[in-house]
Structure formats: structure tokens, C-alpha cells
Structure 1
Amino acid sequence: MEGKRILYVTTEMTPYFPENPMSSQALDLPKVMQSNGADVRIFMPRFGAINERRHQLHEVIRLSGMNMIVNDLDQPLIIKVASVPGERLQVYFIDNEEYFKRKDVYDTDGVLCSDNDERAIFFAKGVLETVKKLNWKPDVVHVMGWMSSLVPTYLKEYYSDDPFFQDAKVVVSLFDNGFEGELDNQLVEKLSFDKVEGNIKQYIEKPTHLGMIQASLEYADAVAKGEEVIPQDVKKYIESKNIPLLDFCEKEQSKEVYNTFYMEEVMNSN
């Protein structure tokens, strides 16, 4: 991937989150691909649980100041950035007081946050608009975590006529980090406000975890297993899709395995 640009969009990443398969891979994979000569950028939500002072986050004034319209409401976009300790990597954080200031990440006392659907919309639009403002055109957009699952949809539908993202390939990593219940059942209507409809409507009329993953896979050029065990219903759905699937590999093999995967499977996909 020498000279290629890879945009990583994740909802969790160490050291900003406790270590788990997703948060670890969200750090390890950009590191190894950077060592392979790729130009990488990492984006994640600035959840209130992240300690800004400890991790030395600071606002990027030249990137902040845009408004994202979510369900007909203007929401200010704030961009923050931090350097990963001991690494030549920077992480961009999508922030907004309404959606991400609270300490709760996905739920409150086991009950899903009622605006998780709008948080996912804001996150997807915020990432892609910021990348455009950076004038950094990605070759690959690699998403991790269900709150990132609308990124492929917005990339392929909302920006379908935008030459900036025209050649970008989408990779979705899968993890066993589902949620019980459903997001707001008005999600389809909220996406329709952005003229984002297409084939994903059938999956998110009742936006369960599986439905959100199916929506992300609808526009994926390739899929990767982020851990050995993924939910059975997700596994069955993948088997019905005719897209390349990378099996789980250990960290020690990821440098060679993912470089080959990106170059031979992802970049050459139709």
C-alpha cells in the first residue's frame, strides 16, 4: 500500500478506550499499514468518557465551525485531535455537545441512548466533511464498529455524485460487539431527509444491530473479521454476499496479510 491513503473510522480505539478486539485493532492496523508506506488518518467520536486533558486533545479551529444538519436541525461540528503516545499517528475526534459530551458511550444503565441513530448520522457526515475539508482523498475507507456503520451509506449515496470520493473503496471490519434492542425507528425518515435511501431501507426499518451491520455491508467492497468469533446472524448474512472476506488473523501476521488484502482484494474490487 505504498503511497495509498487509508481512512480508518472507528468507534473505539486504545489508548482512549479500554482494550478490546476493536479498540486494539483500531490502533494496531493503522500502525502496520503506516509502516508499509500507507498514508493513514484515523477518526473516532469524542465520547465524554474520553479524558481530554490526560490524552491532550485540542480543537482544530480551521476544521471546526461547520454545521451538520441532522433531521432538519443544525448541529455544530467540532474537530479535535490528539497524537497517539509513542507513535507517529494522529487521531481526529468528531465532537458535538448535544451528541458526545455525556459520559455514556452507547447506553445509560443498560438502556440504549435514544439518539444513537442521530449520533451515527452526525458522526458519518462529520467524518466525510472533515476529510473533504482536509483535501485528503482516501483510496480506502475502513470502518469499525456499528456506530460507524452509516459511513459507507453516506459515502456511496449522499456523496454519490461527488468526484472527491468516487474511487474510494470501502472495507468493513466485523466484531462481536452487538447491542440488544433497536435504535430509533424513525432512522429511515431521518436518512431520507438527506436523500439517503437506496437498498438499506429494508435493513433499518427496525434498526437492530444486525440491520445496522447489513446497512454497512450493502456498500462494502470487502469485509474483514476483526476477531475470531462474530455473531452468527452476521456470519450468515455475509455468506449470502458476493464480496471478499478476510478471515481473522493475529496481530503478528497483520502487516503482510492486510497489505495483500488491500492491494489484491480491495483495490481490485468492482
Structure 2
Amino acid sequence: MRVLFLASEVDGLIKTGGLADVAKVLPIELQKRDIDVSVMLPCYPQVKALVVPGEAPIELTMHLGSQHYIYRIYKISGQEVPVYAIDYEPYFNRDRPYDDGNHGYADNGERFAFFTLAALQACQMLNLKPNIVHSNDWHTALAPFFIKTVLADNSFFAETRSVLSIHNGAYQGSYDLNSIPFAHTFSQYTEEGMYDSYNMFNFLKCGVLYADAINAVSKSYAEELTTPLGGHYMSHIFQRRKDALVGILNGCDYGEWDTENDPHLIANYSATDLSGKAKCKQDLQQQLNLPEDPNLPLFAMVSRFTDQKGFSLLVPALADFLASSDAQVAIVGSGETAICDALTALAKRYPNRFGLFIGYSDALSHQAQAGADYFLMPSIFEPCGLTQMFSLAYGSLPVAREVGGLKDTVIGYNGNNLESANGITFLNPEPDALYYTMRAATDLYNESPEIYLQIQQRAMATRFLWEKSSAEYIDMYNDVLTHSH
């Protein structure tokens, strides 16, 4: 089986989020299972720096109506699977892949529609005849549409089927067709359901309508996408394609997240010897200027500061929790100004209770995972989530809302399920629900240390392996090749 994997980012080359992790690890796991897989991504400057030295690129011309685009294909060196970068400098020679730091690029629709068409042309030039074209999120969601419309008469793709993975359905890629200079080459095939409003063409809707199979990155998120509450205003489209929609939970890279070998930690530890974790807690308290008290429960969080991550619940809950509870909180992250300001005000009011680091530090994100007793994930929605997988492995019990991938990975202790619990959960997206859950977690830590330890041991034994996930992807590919027309 030959798979062409299309992604807008790949970890190790360029990364802004969880999509990059999947785009790196999943193709490697597929290759281990004898799938002939190639990856294509745009040739951003960071990627171009890693092309195979001395290897001349392949130059191609794409004719789209009266438009002519001359672009190059580079092979990237040092990769475990073949990775190709599509280089068209007017679109991709920019410091950041999607935005200028504040606003998305106005021509993003044009850029990624071009990338998708160019990737499909490039695989013909490279003679990579795919059984499956696997697209990811809105950036490459037009591939299923192009294969079935613009390229319908192209014999190269006669046996090709398409899969679309949804890593975050809130980002859909909605652009005025007039902003895409070559839109006339495909607009004749569009239909009403692909538009948000007049001429505002939605890439993700288009991909969902045309893909032979659609997968979300957890089973619960796949179910939520079909509901008005969880469907990001697209539930009617997901309902239409419900029979083609599955959920496959992401795996976790335990090579990078390993308490026994993590180079970022002041002391390593394991489930059978937690003494190093106590030192990590002391180190985190030091770094965030909190009193070094081993007896206070420490709640940590590492996150982008966005509404999705539950800050509308957390900020009011924290104000009450810090005022009334004997515990500490440590938060690391950056994002929306209003959230930064609200957290900064709380940190000033409770300097001995609340340590805040605004910014991103890979080392500190590992140290926060290791130093915490509890890890906060009160997300409004969470397609899969990797952070809770890390916190489970690090013995920092997730305090998570029962939604999406969190619901599929964290089993909340309810007093009666000690044999299966690996964290603390709550359901209602309300500040009070989070506040009372944090209070209950504090009581558990202080009053029932033996129960806390039992849950912690189970958390550290919990594993979500890419071997299992990749086998499910191959089952989906086989199903598509067997049943779709």
C-alpha cells in the first residue's frame, strides 16, 4: 500500500501544534508496518535549510487557467521516511507558516489550495502513485475534492482514495473565492454546502464532503463533531458523513516523555521510586518563586492561553481557589492578552500561592509536568490532547474536563473506582465545577495519601502507543480501498 501524507507542518522541521507531532510519528509507524509512505509539506525557510545537500530540486510548472506557477520539489535530508517540500517562494518564503504573529496571512486560502494541487502534481512527477492520499486539517482538505473533480479523468489517480484527519475542527479555512486567483479551475465543481456565506468557501467542509473516510483524533471527539455543541457549526456536515467518520486516538511519544531519562529534570524517577519527583517539585517551586513546601498540593498547567483550553472556567475558579485553599498553582504558557492580564493580576495578589511564567520553554514544560501533583486541563473542547498523556506518565494526576480525547484517556476517581481511576475529572463547563473539583483533589492529596498514591501508580502505568493507533489507521485505509467507489 502506498500512502501520500499531506501536512502543513511536521515536527523536527516546523511545528506550531499537535498536528506536527502526528505528521512526524504516524508515517514512521506506518512504514514500520510495511506501508510505503511519503510526506509532503510546504517549503518554509526552516524546511529549506534542511534539504539534501547538493541535490538539485525538480522544477515543475503548473498551469491554472491563464496563471503559470513555476515551483520546485526538494527532498529533505535525515528523515526516517521520504519527506518532500513544495517550494514556491511567493507563498512559503515567510518567517511564520500561517500568520505574521498577530493576523493570519490574507492569502492563506490561495497558498494552501496551491500547495495541495502542487503536491498532487508533484507525486505524478515523482511517480509516487498513491493508493491513499491522507490529508490533515483544513490546509490540505481540498485534496479529496481535487481528486474527485479536477483530477477525475486523470488515470494516475484512478485507484486513489482519500482520507481526511481532523486534529482541530474549530479551524476550518474559510476564504473568499475571489481571493484565490485560480479558483475558476475548481469553483465550477463547488456546491452550496461548502460555503459559509456568499462566496466564502470553507476548505474543511469541502474535504469532509468529498473524503472517502474522515477521522477525528479521538473517539469521543468524532462523536462530538456530529452534535451542535461540539461540531464547530459544522455538525450538519458531519451528520451527513457520519458513516464515513471514525475516531482514532493519537499515540504518545514516550521517547521524549520518559521520567527515567528526561534530561530536563533535576532528578529522574519511576513509579517504584518517586523520590526524584519530590526533588522536581522543589525545583519547580524554586523556579516560579513559590515557597518550597513539600506538603502543599501543587497544581500545574502548560498551555496556550486560548478559550479552547478552558480559561473562562479557570480564571474565576482560580480566584476563589487561591483565596480559600491551602495549595499552590503553577502556570506556564502564552497567548491571548486578556488571559495573560487576568493571570498576572492573580499572581500579584497571591505571590506565595500562584507562580506564573508567560512564554514558552520546552525545559520548563517538562519540569512542570514532573514537579506537579496535579495537572490542570479544563478544556472547553479537546480533539485528542497530548498534555494529559504526558502528565499521566509523569505521575501528575490530570484534573480534566470529560470532553473529547480527555474523556477517552482520563478515568476520574469517584470514590468507587479505585481499581481503574487514573485522574480527577468533571463534566460541566462551569467555573464552580472546576473549583469544587480542585477542592476535592486537594482533600484527596491531604487526607488520603494512600489512595492518591494508588491512582498515581496507575496513571504512570497508562500508555497510549502509536503501534495501536497506526494499526487502526491501516484498518481504515483497507476499509476505504475495499468499500469506496
| C-alpha distance after superposition, 1:189-221 (max 9, x if no partner) | 7322x244324454245436xx21111122100
The yes-or-no answer on 1:147 pairing with 2:127 is: no
**Paired position in structure 2 for 1:184:** 176
Query: Which has the larger Rg?
Result: 2
**What is the deviation of 1:21?**
2.3
**What is the deviation of 1:184?**
3.5
The yes-or-no answer on 1:41 pairing with 2:41 is: no
- Of the structure 1 ranges 122-131 and 260-269, higher mean CA displacement relative to structure 2 is found in 260-269
Q: Distance in 2 between matches of 1:136 and 1:103?
A: 30
Q: Please state whether the residue corresponding to 2:211 is helix, strand or coil.
A: coil
Measured at CA, do residues 201 and 84 of structure 1 come closer, stay the same or move farther in structure 2, by a change above 3 Å? farther
Q: Distance in 1 between matches of 2:191 and 2:479?
A: 27
The yes-or-no answer on 1:82 pairing with 2:76 is: yes
**Paired position in structure 2 for 1:207:** 200
Q: Which amino acid aligns with 1:155?
A: I
Task: Return the match for 2:189 from 198, 201, 204.
Answer: 198
Which protein, 1 or 2, shows the higher relative CO under an 8 Å CA cutoff with sep ≥ 6?
1
Q: Give the conservation status (yes or no) of the 8 Å contact 1:157–1:196.
A: no
Q: Give the conservation status (yes or no) of the 8 Å contact 1:80–1:92.
A: yes
Q: Distance in 2 between matches of 1:71 and 1:114?
A: 22
Q: Please state whether the residue corresponding to 2:473 is helix, strand or coil.
A: helix
**Paired position in structure 2 for 1:30:** 27
The yes-or-no answer on 1:52 pairing with 2:24 is: no
**What is the deviation of 1:240?**
2.1
**What is the deviation of 1:17?**
2.2
Measured at CA, do residues 164 and 83 of structure 1 come closer, stay the same or move farther in structure 2, by a change above 3 Å? same
Q: Please state whether the residue corresponding to 1:68 is helix, strand or coil.
A: strand
Q: Give the conservation status (yes or no) of the 8 Å contact 1:199–1:218.
A: no
Which stretches in structure 1 are left out of the alignment for 5+ residues? Answer: none
- Of the structure 1 ranges 218-227 and 14-23, higher mean CA displacement relative to structure 2 is found in 14-23
Q: Give the conservation status (yes or no) of the 8 Å contact 2:22–2:250.
A: no
| C-alpha distance after superposition, 1:88-120 (max 9, x if no partner) | x12100111111111131122332212112212
**What is the deviation of 1:160?**
0.7
Q: Distance in 2 between matches of 1:96 and 1:83?
A: 19
**What is the deviation of 1:71?**
6.6
**What is the deviation of 1:138?**
0.7
Q: Give the conservation status (yes or no) of the 8 Å contact 2:57–2:74.
A: no
% identical equivalent positions: 22
Q: Give the conservation status (yes or no) of the 8 Å contact 2:57–2:72.
A: no
Q: Please state whether the residue corresponding to 1:25 is helix, strand or coil.
A: helix
Measured at CA, do residues 103 and 58 of structure 1 come closer, stay the same or move farther in structure 2, by a change above 3 Å? farther
Q: Give the conservation status (yes or no) of the 8 Å contact 2:4–2:37.
A: yes
Q: Which amino acid aligns with 2:67?
A: L
Q: Distance in 2 between matches of 1:20 and 1:267?
A: 33
**Paired position in structure 2 for 1:260:** 475
**What is the deviation of 1:133?**
0.8
Q: Please state whether the residue corresponding to 2:15 is helix, strand or coil.
A: coil
Q: Give the conservation status (yes or no) of the 8 Å contact 1:187–1:207.
A: no
**Paired position in structure 1 for 2:246:** 246
RMSD across aligned C-alpha pairs, in angstroms?
A: 2.7
Which stretches in structure 2 are left out of the alignment for 5+ residues? Answer: 252-464
The yes-or-no answer on 1:173 pairing with 2:170 is: no
| C-alpha distance after superposition, 1:126-148 (max 9, x if no partner) | 11111111122110110012111
Measured at CA, do residues 206 and 159 of structure 1 come closer, stay the same or move farther in structure 2, by a change above 3 Å? same
The yes-or-no answer on 1:128 pairing with 2:124 is: no
Q: Distance in 2 between matches of 1:67 and 1:110?
A: 33
Measured at CA, do residues 112 and 184 of structure 1 come closer, stay the same or move farther in structure 2, by a change above 3 Å? farther
Measured at CA, do residues 73 and 58 of structure 1 come closer, stay the same or move farther in structure 2, by a change above 3 Å? farther
Q: Distance in 2 between matches of 1:39 and 1:235?
A: 34
Q: Distance in 2 between matches of 1:257 and 1:63?
A: 35
- Of the structure 1 ranges 143-152 and 68-77, higher mean CA displacement relative to structure 2 is found in 68-77
Q: Give the conservation status (yes or no) of the 8 Å contact 2:213–2:476.
A: no
The yes-or-no answer on 1:8 pairing with 2:2 is: no
Measured at CA, do residues 20 and 182 of structure 1 come closer, stay the same or move farther in structure 2, by a change above 3 Å? closer
Q: Distance in 2 between matches of 1:6 and 1:137?
A: 8
Q: Which amino acid aligns with 1:63?
A: I
